[in-house]
Structure 1
Amino acid sequence: MELAFKALFLLAAAFYLLLRLATYLLTAHKNRIFAKSHNCLPPRRFPSPFLGLPNWVRLMRAAKRGNVLEHITDRYPTYGNTWKGRILIGTSIGTVEPENIKAILATNFKDFGLGPQRHANFYPLLGDGIFTLDGPGWEHSRANLRPQFSREQVSDIEALEVHVQRLMNRLPEGDGEVADLQPLFYCLTLDSATEFLLGESVDSLLSPELNPTGDGGGEMSFAQAFNVSQGYLINRTRVRGLYWMINPKRFRDANAIVHRLVDRYVDMALHPEKRAKKISEKKYVFLDAIAAETKDPKYLRDQTLNILLAGRDTTAGLLGFIFWLLARHPHIYQKLREEIISAFGTGRDGGGKRPSFSALKDLTYLRYVLNETLRLYPSVPLNGRTAVRNTILPRGGGEDGLSPVFVPKGQRVDYSCYGLHRRKDLYGEDADTFRPERWGEGVGRGWEFLPFNGGPRICLGQQYALTEASYTVTRILQKYARIEVADTYTGPMMDLTLTVAPKKVLLRFWRA
């Protein structure tokens, strides 16, 4: 009996292995036919010995040094604008080719998705929302969000002025005094985003310790917890399919703090009588709109957290890099300030006009400064998709990189806006230099410049982010005649999570 059972087991195992082999061979045959019919050639190979383990070790060392973006970008001049390699347990195609990114995000949009791994990785913090879902779930989330960013909503400068003035009250009054702008920018964008999206501001800029949601006893604030959670998410991403191994108590505690704040807003949306102030019926509030169609608090929390991530972090990072760069290029600061003062006057003793939405759009050099900052430091510098069916990338195959590349179902394709924006063949030999004037020279056409992604998933809030950044820059430059770097560090020590921002923007200020 025992021998018969063993024989049956071995026969079943052999049949299973034979079936797997047959499936593999059949899939490989179909893939070859598909690739040949589209004239595909393999991309250049990124050396990946020992299953890509050395590549992963080098990546983690770069993360520890804080130069992951440079580490990844340095691969492209050596291995081409599109290559294929292995990192840890998975293969990846990397690209900085505009036509390939266009295919991923637009022309072949339905061939790619975020993938189940990203959803499972991000789920402990973000749940089911616009940044974790594909298909109908994503379409529904985006449809709910679209009215929030109508021109009427985005152009409400009055609401923005309140928060910017609170920021200004935190800045130095005496000449030569020092302030770190980055935590202030996080508070500004958190305050404005919570009012804009949720109907009521968290008012973190009014907190004496800038610790709006910490309950004392050493607990992390919301801002700290949000950053900690995202830091763990990016680390989980780097280990690919082994993301589940990174789940420490600090990560879980940070998620709980973030969820607690958002749950308070969800409770107010479900019970409007708990709000401190009444919201105008004419104003569209994202959270109230989705609360009108469902009373599920988990669904409401997930939707809110996803859009709050975009509303707070991206604009705070943009503002931080603008002032980090302006302080290191005083001639650009002065040129920009001259344009602003010419349009709106100085901020001395509360003077100077308040910029209007339409007037801000007329400031050409300010637009150049914002574009140049987003070119060098795009808010989401690294991104990727997973093929949901066999498809192709239009370029990157063969030694010359001009042939299509076959992308099998399940293949990960990563694209780097950070690397794309620093290509010298697109932006000139000074592509690594901060030079806003290049935007008057016809650069950044089409898919060569992607500060807000592209295609059907293009950022709905891009105009809101640019308006908030433009308005804040204008008000600060109206008040301060010059700024200087207050530390000796020569490169931006970046906080790279799901977005990117400077760790510090430590500056000295001189009033007008």
Structure 2
Amino acid sequence: MALLQNIFPFLLFAVISGALFLVYNQSVLYLHRRKVIRENGCEPPTAAKLLDPVLGIDNIITLARESRNHNLLGHISNRFKQYGQTYSTLRLGTPLIMTNEPANLQAVLATRFKDFALGPFRQPAMGHFLGKGIFTTDGAHWAASRAMIRPNFARDQVADLAMLESHVQDLLAVLPRDGHTEVDLQELFFRLTIDSATAFLFGKSADTLKEKLYSNDPAMTRQGAKFAAAFAAAQEECLSFVQMGPLAALLKCKAKVGDGELAVDVVHSYVDQFVDEAVRYRQSLDEKQHAFGAADSPKEDKYVFLHELAKQTTDKRRIRDELLNVLLAGRDTTASLLGNLFFVLARRPDVWAKLKQEIAVLDGRTPTYEELRGFRYLKWCLNESLRIHPVVPINTRLATADTMLPVGGGPSGTSPIFVKRGTAVVYCPFTLHRRRDVWGADADVFRPERWEGLKVGWEYLPFNGGPRICVGQQYALTEAGYATVRMVQEFEALEGCRGEEWHELVTLTLCGKGGCWVKLRGLGVGEPRA
């Protein structure tokens, strides 16, 4: 008792000192921020009306409801119309600035890049699946991941059209040509892109299109299809975790496939077999280089992304993480782009006819890489699809330091905005790309001709921008462009069915909720083939 009486004054002094120090620090920080705000003429943006102005629980409930109803992007678009192109709101107590101002996006993604990060919630939400890679990390780890990956998207790899052609042939083999049978191109495009991506990354394709083609053949393994299903299920679960924000750390994987296995475990097991092989390849390469010398060591017959990673590290977990991060982008973005594009093409025979006219110069043969890049109208169609249906329709950055956005504050929306550390900045390319004051009165209309002579900046962000701009964008555009050319060559016409309206399905990318159901009429049906 006496000891407690002796210690109590010191404990009381420590508590009071700590409280005073905290008050002093907060006072200094407040005065400093007020000075910065005053000197730079900063004003707050318009605030969204909330029933819960402390945590913004009603905002979370509304977003969850609209997401379930497949109207998340429609809801966000309406909010921008209501409050302007920049406004503030709350999500679970975290202050949010919603903005579609190109100047602000340039600041967040480029000029003030070091003031922003992905934030602390993406890793808890996606790390169980994707690990630590280019899409889930910040800082030094992200920089190292990007430096490791970027050289593998050099022109020689991107231009390997022979590899793409082999998978396009598998696609063409499963497509009906009678002009009457309905088929979901979106589902097949996802098979095409996972087949080509796994071939490029692992050196062996998942061959999901072949499995569909030979589904009645008992000798045909189902390993690739099981992996693809597990990958999709794990990805969908990731999205639900992302939407939970800070609560994601409390969630556990539950998504299962087939015989009840966890989807994440199926994906990791499938990829690990290739990682193990790549590390063995690296060890044998080291032995050959030791025996023959680096200059005389044998060269590979074909390029394998995974083998190049193994040359840089033998950390199996690191290799797997980087592979899954790249696979996520390589598969989903390209498949979504193709599905969204062909949904429109099936309802726009005028655009289809112009594509056929442009590509007729090939006289039925497959294009070279240079020819593919030279098709202007094809490029306009890809650009326009990415504008009206951007494959990454919404994104977020978290301020890691006190910083500013150049516009959006005050009644006029022209004043700078002071952004406190810990504030999330959310931008929505889906609504940005449909701003009528930027793109014209027909901003909601698919019109490829708008791209003739058009030069764009930060008002067009299909692949993000700044230091984190997508390293694989040329690979994606090459694959999408090549697949489109080959489809145009092989089919005289396509007709959309099962509804005229496109409805959003937002996972980690954006595609059509109902798929892309079409009827295809091949050149061999009713007329000679060119």
Q: Structure 2-normalised TM-score?
A: 0.88
Is the contact between residue 170 and residue 210 of structure 2 (CA under 8 Å) also seen in structure 1?
Answer: yes
Amino acid at match of 1:44: T
Give the corresponding residue for 1:448: 459
Amino acid at match of 1:57: I
Residues 102/283 of structure 1: CA separation in 2 closer, same or farther (3 Å cut): farther
- Counterpart among 232, 238, 254 of residue 263 in structure 2: 254
Give the corresponding residue for 1:115: 119
Is the contact between residue 144 and residue 286 of structure 1 (CA under 8 Å) also seen in structure 2?
Answer: no
Give the corresponding residue for 2:142: 138
Q: Does 1:399 align with 2:373?
A: no
Provide the C-alpha distance between the structure 2 equivalents of 1:209 and 1:239, rounded to a whole number of angstroms. 39
- Find the residue that maps to 1:41 and give its secondary structure: coil
Matches within 5 A, 1:25-174: 25-50=27-52, 51-174=55-178
- Counterpart among 358, 361, 373 of residue 339 in structure 1: 358
Give the corresponding residue for 2:279: 270
Provide the C-alpha distance between the structure 2 equivalents of 1:133 and 1:285, rounded to a whole number of angstroms. 25
- Find the residue that maps to 2:150 and give its secondary structure: helix
Greater mean deviation of Cα atoms: 87-96 or 55-64: 87-96
Q: Does 1:328 align with 2:347?
A: yes
Is the contact between residue 94 and residue 422 of structure 2 (CA under 8 Å) also seen in structure 1?
Answer: no
CA drift at 1:27: 2.4
Residues 456/179 of structure 1: CA separation in 2 closer, same or farther (3 Å cut): same
- Find the residue that maps to 2:121 and give its secondary structure: helix
Provide the C-alpha distance between the structure 2 equivalents of 1:153 and 1:441, rounded to a whole number of angstroms. 29
Amino acid at match of 1:383: N
1:330-373 Cα offsets, whole Å, 9 max, x none, are: 22222222222x2223xxxxxx1111111112211111111110
1:101-129 Cα offsets, whole Å, 9 max, x none, are: 11111111111111222222221111110
Q: Does 1:367 align with 2:379?
A: yes
- Counterpart among 486, 492, 501 of residue 491 in structure 1: 501
Matches within 5 A, 1:403-422: 403-422=415-434
Q: Does 1:464 align with 2:475?
A: yes
Q: Does 1:226 align with 2:231?
A: yes
Give the corresponding residue for 1:301: 320
Residues 130/170 of structure 1: CA separation in 2 closer, same or farther (3 Å cut): same
Is the contact between residue 213 and residue 222 of structure 1 (CA under 8 Å) also seen in structure 2?
Answer: no
Provide the C-alpha distance between the structure 2 equivalents of 1:477 and 1:435, rounded to a whole number of angstroms. 18
Residues 22/230 of structure 1: CA separation in 2 closer, same or farther (3 Å cut): farther
CA drift at 1:85: 0.7
Provide the C-alpha distance between the structure 2 equivalents of 1:6 and 1:161, rounded to a whole number of angstroms. 79
Give the corresponding residue for 1:386: 398
Amino acid at match of 2:138: D
CA drift at 1:155: 1.2
- Find the residue that maps to 1:207 and give its secondary structure: helix
- Find the residue that maps to 2:501 and give its secondary structure: coil
- Find the residue that maps to 1:328 and give its secondary structure: coil
Q: Does 1:206 align with 2:210?
A: yes
CA drift at 1:6: 8.5
User: How many residues are treated as equivalent by the alignment?
Assistant: 497
Give the corresponding residue for 1:353: 365
CA drift at 1:282: 7.0
Amino acid at match of 1:32: R
- Find the residue that maps to 1:355 and give its secondary structure: coil
- Find the residue that maps to 2:255 and give its secondary structure: helix
Residues 14/70 of structure 1: CA separation in 2 closer, same or farther (3 Å cut): farther
Structure 1, gaps ≥5 residues long: 346-351
Residues 213/280 of structure 1: CA separation in 2 closer, same or farther (3 Å cut): farther
Specify the structure having the higher radius of gyration (Cα): 2
Greater mean deviation of Cα atoms: 325-334 or 57-66: 325-334
CA drift at 1:18: 4.8
Residues 223/496 of structure 1: CA separation in 2 closer, same or farther (3 Å cut): farther
Give the corresponding residue for 1:348: none
Is the contact between residue 180 and residue 506 of structure 1 (CA under 8 Å) also seen in structure 2?
Answer: yes
Residues 283/98 of structure 1: CA separation in 2 closer, same or farther (3 Å cut): farther
Structure 2, gaps ≥5 residues long: 285-297, 524-530
1:260-309 Cα offsets, whole Å, 9 max, x none, are: 2211211121123999xxx9537553321221232221111101100111
Greater mean deviation of Cα atoms: 466-475 or 69-78: 69-78
Provide the C-alpha distance between the structure 2 equivalents of 1:281 and 1:290, rounded to a whole number of angstroms. 14
Is the contact between residue 154 and residue 464 of structure 1 (CA under 8 Å) also seen in structure 2?
Answer: yes
When the two chains are superposed, the root-mean-square deviation of aligned CA atoms in Å is: 2.6
Provide the C-alpha distance between the structure 2 equivalents of 1:420 and 1:210, rounded to a whole number of angstroms. 44
Residues 280/419 of structure 1: CA separation in 2 closer, same or farther (3 Å cut): farther
Is the contact between residue 113 and residue 386 of structure 1 (CA under 8 Å) also seen in structure 2?
Answer: yes
Greater mean deviation of Cα atoms: 7-16 or 72-81: 7-16
Provide the C-alpha distance between the structure 1 equivalents of 2:517 and 2:221, rounded to a whole number of angstroms. 24
Provide the C-alpha distance between the structure 2 equivalents of 1:205 and 1:215, rounded to a whole number of angstroms. 12
Provide the C-alpha distance between the structure 2 equivalents of 1:20 and 1:95, rounded to a whole number of angstroms. 33
CA drift at 1:486: 2.2
Is the contact between residue 372 and residue 435 of structure 1 (CA under 8 Å) also seen in structure 2?
Answer: yes
CA drift at 1:7: 8.5
Is the contact between residue 213 and residue 221 of structure 1 (CA under 8 Å) also seen in structure 2?
Answer: no
Is the contact between residue 144 and residue 289 of structure 1 (CA under 8 Å) also seen in structure 2?
Answer: no
Is the contact between residue 82 and residue 94 of structure 1 (CA under 8 Å) also seen in structure 2?
Answer: yes
Q: Structure 1-normalised TM-score?
A: 0.91
CA drift at 1:384: 1.4
Give the corresponding residue for 2:485: 474
